[in-house]
């Protein structure tokens, strides 16, 4: 069943690279604030070391994860196997946001394929690695990645993406600062 592991080893890193989707959860400090859970897909996750992971954050209609991380840094990333051996992996840690105009972004972004909708890289210092069985998670087959976000970002262009982020990504739904 479940285990708490000391590090992210090569076997786990290989398994993670095969997964097609993961989930990111964050919360504001305020008990009245909204907890957020976001699905992530595409080739946007990397293991950087035994206690460090990162994902490429794409432009979206909200900014909850970024706002929460800027406020308190708390994050959990969860992977579920939807095919093959059943398994769930969670990384609890502290996330740092590197936006496209900040120092450190280019070095981190070099780990990922270029994506027209990129707005940041989230780097997580992993404090706890745990697994659980995933026995009740359904088996589902992968068909293909969606390209809608990429096409949308290309059509918007750099200036259009900047304007969109100003309109949609400056504050969280609870009023916390985003981009």
Question: What's the average model confidence in pLDDT over 149-154?
Answer: 97
57 burial type by CB count under 10 A (0-12 exposed, 13-18 middle, 19+ buried): buried
Q: Give CA angle at 94 (119, 102), nearest 5°.
A: 35
Question: What's the average model confidence in pLDDT over 16-38?
Answer: 97
Q: Which pLDDT band holds residue 1 (cuts at 50, 70, 90)?
A: low
Question: In whole numbers, what is the pLDDT of the chain averaged over residues?
Answer: 96
Confidence at residue 165, expressed as pLDDT on a 0 to 100 scale: 96
Q: In this predicted model, what pLDDT tens digit does every residue of 163-173 receive, in sequence order?
A: 999 999 999 99
Confidence at residue 121, expressed as pLDDT on a 0 to 100 scale: 98
Q: In this predicted model, what pLDDT tens digit does every residue of 116-148 receive, in sequence order?
A: 999 999 999 999 999 999 999 999 999 999 999
Q: Which domains does the chain have, with CATH numbers?
A: 3-168 (2.30.110.10)
3-class DSSP assignment, residue 15? helix
Question: What's the average model confidence in pLDDT over 54-75?
Answer: 97
CA dihedral 61, 42, 149, 95 (to 10 degrees): 30
At residue 100, does pLDDT exceed 70?
yes
Confidence at residue 153, expressed as pLDDT on a 0 to 100 scale: 97
Q: Report the distance separating Cα 126 and Cα 13, nearest Å.
A: 14
Confidence at residue 116, expressed as pLDDT on a 0 to 100 scale: 96
3-class DSSP assignment, residue 14? helix
At residue 82, does pLDDT exceed 90?
yes
Phi, psi of 157 (to 5 degrees): 75, 170
Q: In this predicted model, what pLDDT tens digit does every residue of 36-49 receive, in sequence order?
A: 999 999 999 999 99
């Amino acid at each position: 069943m479940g285990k708490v592991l000391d590090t992210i080893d090569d076997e786990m890193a290989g398994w993670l690279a095969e997964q097609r989707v993961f989930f990111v959860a964050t919360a504001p400090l305020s008990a009245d604030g909204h907890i957020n859970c976001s699905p992530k897909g595409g080739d946007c996750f990397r293991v950087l070391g035994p206690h460090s992971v990162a994902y490429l954050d794409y432009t979206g209609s909200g900014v909850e994860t970024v706002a929460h991380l800027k406020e308190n840094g708390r994050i959990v990333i969860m992977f579920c196997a939807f095919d093959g051996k059943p398994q769930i992996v969670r990384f609890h840690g502290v996330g740092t946001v590197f936006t496209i105009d900040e120092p450190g972004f280019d070095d981190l972004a070099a780990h990922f394929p270029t994506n027209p909708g990129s707005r940041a890289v989230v780097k997580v210092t992993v404090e706890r690695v745990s697994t659980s069985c995933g026995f009740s998670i359904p088996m589902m087959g992968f068909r293909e990645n969606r390209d809608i976000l990429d096409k949308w970002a290309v059509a918007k262009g750099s200036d259009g993406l900047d304007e969109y982020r100003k309109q949609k990504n400056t504050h969280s739904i609870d009023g916390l600062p985003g981009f």
